Amino acid sequence: MPPAAAASPTPTRSDRLDALRGLAIVWMAAFHFGFDLNHFGWIRQDFYRDPVWTWQRGCIVSLFLFCAGGGQAFAVLAGQGAPRFWKRWSQVAGCALLVSLGSWFMFPSSWISFGVLHGIALMLLLLRMGLSRLPNAVLLALAALAIAAPLLLQSAFFDTRWTNWIGLVTHKPITEDYVPVLPWLGVMLVGFVVTRARPQLWAGSAPRPLALLGRWSLSFYMVHQPVLIGALMALQLLRGS
């Protein structure tokens, strides 16, 4: 009798999950292009209060965090080692610091102290340092609590830049990007649980351009705004000459 075939190793990522992240990247770039047009006065929109824009932002951030949770589920299932995790985490955290620095130069009164990359960096630590060991049912309960907490609990104590990263603020801080732990950790946990429970949902092929873009999402994120802003500044100078 031939020996039993060895079990196939769990992949560390999925083309379909990468493609979903790539879709979020394309949507984000389009959103930021509109924001930049508004910043330079080419269009007039209220990106801070108009539901057309605020709901889009919420959906984009949700997709990113859901995919981040799913990616960590694949990493855990595949037994990803600590060195690889810390290498990726240091890239995310380093880019978060660069975002804070760049936003301070461009928006000194509303610079980003805890945006999407800051949130992802901290949430990844929470997930990989302990939460990933919990059963799926417990994680779903925690996700529900995380999502509900800002609606049920608010305090002025959390309204400062030193504490608003938790998310229990009485009002949204004046900043160009704000993705606190609560409620957004809940979205990442949902992505983690869905993928850990049913990794086969992500099996199969996906549009190659989107999957490739999803694999390089951090690089694209860091480059796209300087490119868009630089192009619009150049066009503005040409129009004025």
Distance (Å, whole) CA 140 – CA 44: 41
149-173: pLDDT as tens digits = 999 999 999 999 999 999 999 999 9
Distance (Å, whole) CA 45 – CA 26: 20
45-67: pLDDT as tens digits = 999 999 999 999 999 999 999 99
**What global pTM score does this model have?**
0.92
Domain boundaries, the chain: 15-230
44: left (phi over 0), alpha (psi -120 to 50) or beta: beta
16-30: pLDDT as tens digits = 999 999 999 999 999
Distance (Å, whole) CA 115 – CA 99: 8
Residue 5 has pLDDT above 50, yes or no: no
- Measured from the Cβ of residue 186, the count of other Cβ atoms closer than 10 Å reads 25
* Average pLDDT score, the chain: 93
DSSP H helices, 78-180, are 82-106, 116-128, 136-152
Structure tokens at 71: 């990616």
The whole-number pLDDT of residue 241 equals 57
Q: Judge contact between 43 and 169, C-beta under 8 A.
A: no
Q: What percent of the chain is predicted at pLDDT more than 70?
A: 95
Distance (Å, whole) CA 226 – CA 101: 13
Distance (Å, whole) CA 213 – CA 24: 10
What is the residue-wise DSSP string for 50-95? -HHHHHHHHHHHHHHHHHHHHHHHHHHHTT--HHHHHHHHHHHHHH
Residue type, 3: P
How much is the CA Rg of the chain, to the nearest whole Å?
Answer: 20
Q: How far is CA 187 from the centre of its chain?
A: 10
Long-range contacts formed by 197-200: CB under 8 A, 24+ apart = 197/136, 199/10, 199/14, 199/73, 199/74, 199/77
Q: Judge contact between 45 and 57, C-beta under 8 A.
A: no
Name the pLDDT band for 1 (thresholds 50, 70, 90): very low
Which of 103-107, 121-125, 129-133, 210-214 has the least mean pLDDT? 103-107
Residue 42 has pLDDT above 50, yes or no: yes
Q: How far is CA 215 from the centre of its chain?
A: 14
